[in-house]
Structure formats: structure tokens, C-alpha cells
Amino acid sequence: MTALFVCYRREDSAGHAGRVFDKLRQSFGDSAVFLDTSAISPGMKWPLILKDRVSSCKVLVVIIGTRWLSPRLRDENDWVHQELATAFGTGKLVIPVVVDGAKVPDQKELPPRIKPLNECQAIWLDHRSSTGYNAGLERLVQDISTSIDIPRVGPPATLVIRRTGSIAVSAANFKIFLNGERVGEVPNDAVRRYQVPPGNYVLYIEAGTSALGFLFCRKATR
């Protein structure tokens, strides 16, 4: 089940929505977060998917920029209107994330079904400072963690790949595999690092048809 739904108006805050989505994905995992541009494949019936994901989520994160409050919001067919109305109607936790110096609209500016938005505690992302912006994202993650039962994911593992001294392979690259899936190549005299999800892997290096060499694996630290 998708626990977190990111609601936004594309012409208003698509870039911010992408950054919020990335932060939530890194914190709670890919399957826990829904953003329409990343989760709806060509040919799928997106109106049904949006309604289903809002109805089944635990938290709706709505991104509010300076162009979010448009006349379209009073149209019940507007998707931002529908998503918020569904979230409030089904008792979801709604967290406004305010960007670009915008503000949460007053109740008199909101249609009846989404007037509760004005009463929701918001988080501000300071676009003038990367430090302030990132601090706002961290606060969003912390607020979600303390509000609902949702597991955090660990940091990625780091694979450090290098040639061992006992093996000399000239004019050939080592092929790097994780659980049988090829993820890249590295020249036999080079060192590279690959970010991979946490977990246990069967790791080996293949040169031609023979398994040669070693992979050195360690957990990344924060």
C-alpha cells in the first residue's frame, strides 16, 4: 500500500514536488510514496489510479506555491480539489508544504470541501537557502514518522570494487553483478563505488566466462 501521496499543481510546483518525492522515497522506500509522474505508466487510466491512491494513503502531502491558489481550485473537477476533498473526506492526515514564499490560503479563499486545509500545520521550505530547504525536508520526514506507523529505510550499501593483487586480466573489464543482475563494468585497474539498496547479495566478478577476483562490500555510514 502507498502510505504517502504527493499532491501538487504542475505549473505551480512540479520541481518542488520532485524534491519532496525524492526525500520521502529515500526515507521510507520507493513503494511507500506516490507521485503521478513516476507511478503512472503510459496507457493506464490515471483518474482511477489517483482516486484509489488518495483513498488508500495515510498521509497526503500538498505542495503549495505562489500559483497554487488559482480559480480552478473552486471547480470540483480540478484534480487538486478532488484529491484534497477525498483526503479530508476519508480522514487522512494532510500536511501542507509551502514553497517559494507562498502561504496557506485563508478559509475564505478555499472551497467548502477543502476549507480544513487552513487548519493544518504547515511546513515551509526556504528556497533562499539550501540549508533551510533541507532542514524543512527533514522536519517533514520527522513529522510523518511520528504521526503514522511507517518504517524508515536504512542507508544504501556501498560496493567498493577493485582488482586483487593475485589476478591480472589485461584488456578486459570486470562485469559487476548483484543477485545475478548485471549493474556495470569496471576496468581491472580501477576502483569504483556503486550505490545499491540495503540487503544481502550474492556477489561476484566475472571476466569472460570465468568467475575471477573478489568484491569488497561494506555498509555506508552517515
Residue 152 lies in a domain: no
Mean pLDDT (the chain) is 77
pLDDT digits (tens, 9 = 90+) for 154-194: 665 545 444 444 333 334 555 555 555 566 665 555 545 55
pLDDT digits (tens, 9 = 90+) for 34-81: 998 655 455 555 577 778 889 999 999 999 999 999 999 999 889 999
CA 58/CA 94 separation, integer angstroms: 9
Overall pTM > 0.75? no
- Residue 27 belongs to domain with CATH number: 3.40.50.10140
Q: Structural domain of residue 205, as residue ranges?
A: 157-219
Total number of domains constituting the chain? 2
Residue 17 and residue 76 in one domain: yes
Give the HSE-up count for residue 110: Cα atoms under 13 Å, Cβ half-sphere: 18
Residue 36 lies in a domain: yes
Residue 165 and residue 123 in one domain: no
Bridge partners (DSSP) of residue 124 are: 98
Do residues 74 and 111 lie in contact, with contact meaning Cβ atoms separated by under 8 Å? yes
CA 18/CA 3 separation, integer angstroms: 17
Residue 130 and residue 192 in one domain: no
* DSSP per residue, the chain: ---EEEE--HHHHHHHHHHHHHHHHHHH-GGGEE-HHHH--TTS-HHHHHHHHHHH-SEEEEEE-TTSS-GGGGSTTSHHHHHHHHHHHTT-EEEEEE-TT--PPPGGGS-GGGGGGGGSPPEE--TT-HHHHHHHHHHHHHHHHHHS--PPPPPPEEEEE---TT---TT-EEEEEETTEEEEEEETT--EEEEE-SS---EEEEETTEE-S--EEEE---
